[in-house]
Amino acid sequence: MKAHLPVFLCASALAACGGDRDAGEASVLPIAGMYEVNGETITKATGDKRAISGRIIIAEEEEGSAYTATFHLTTTYPGAEEALPAEVIGKGEGTIEGRALLGTAETQLVMATVPGVDPGFAFVPRMVSTRLVSRSSATVAADGSVQIEIDNEAAAGEEGYVPTRTTLAGLRISGTDVIEGVGAGTPRGEE
C-alpha cells in the first residue's frame, strides 16, 4: 500500500456460499460463528498486493435475515522506507439470503509508528488511517468454509486512499456456543 491503505473491512462482507448436503452427510453448520481467514488486498490502480489474515465473528440478527460482523485482521501498511504492521478494525452489517451475505463495513487501519513493532504492543505510538467504507459479498458453505470479496474506498470527505479489493477465504473455527453474546442461529438448508 504505497500511500494508500489496504483495507479489507472484511468483517463487513462475510458472505456464505454453500451447497446442500445429502441426508447421509454431516449436519449443516450455522452461519453465526468465528472464522479464521487469509487472503490479499490488491490496489486497483497499481496491482500492488498485501497479505491479510485474522478472525471474523458473525452474529445473526433479526431471525437470520441480517448479520453483524466484527473482525480483527492484520496486514501491512507500506511506509516511505519499509512496510509497517497494521491492524484492520471495524464493524460490518448486512443481509443474509440462503448462505450468502451482502453488506457494508466501516474500517480503519491502525499502524505502529515504530517499524517492525506490533501496533497492539503497549506504549507504542500509533497512527490511524483514512476512514474506509467497504461493500462485501460472502458465501458460507454448509461445511463452514467461507469465501469473501470486499471493495474498499475512502469514506465521504476523506482523501488519500486509492480503492482496493480484498479477497478472503477461511474456515469456521468455533461455534457460537463458546462465543459469549453471539446467538447460535439457524443452520441454513434446514429451514
The Cα 54–Cα 173 span in angstroms is: 12
Based on its alpha-carbon atoms, the radius of gyration of the chain, rounded to whole angstroms, reads: 17
- 24 Cβ neighbours under 8 A, 6+ residues apart: none
Q: For residue 109, name the pLDDT band (cuts at 50, 70, 90).
A: confident
Please tell me whether the overall predicted TM-score, pTM, comes out greater than 0.85 for this model. Answer: no
When pLDDT is averaged across residues 112-119 and rounded to a whole number, the result is 59
Q: Do the Cβ atoms of 113 and 119 come closer than 8 Å? A: no
Could you tell me which residue, 94 or 71, shows the higher pLDDT? 94
Closest CA to 135 of 157, 116, 162, 153: 153
* Domains of the chain and CATH, by start: 10-178 (2.40.160)
- Report the share of the chain in percent with pLDDT over 90: 46
How far apart CA 177 and CA 57 sit, in angstroms, is 13
| Backbone torsions φ then ψ of 11, nearest 5 degrees | -40, -35
**Helix, strand, coil percentages, rounded to 5, for the chain:** 5, 50, 45
Q: How confident is the model at residue 164 (pLDDT cuts 50, 70, 90)?
A: very high
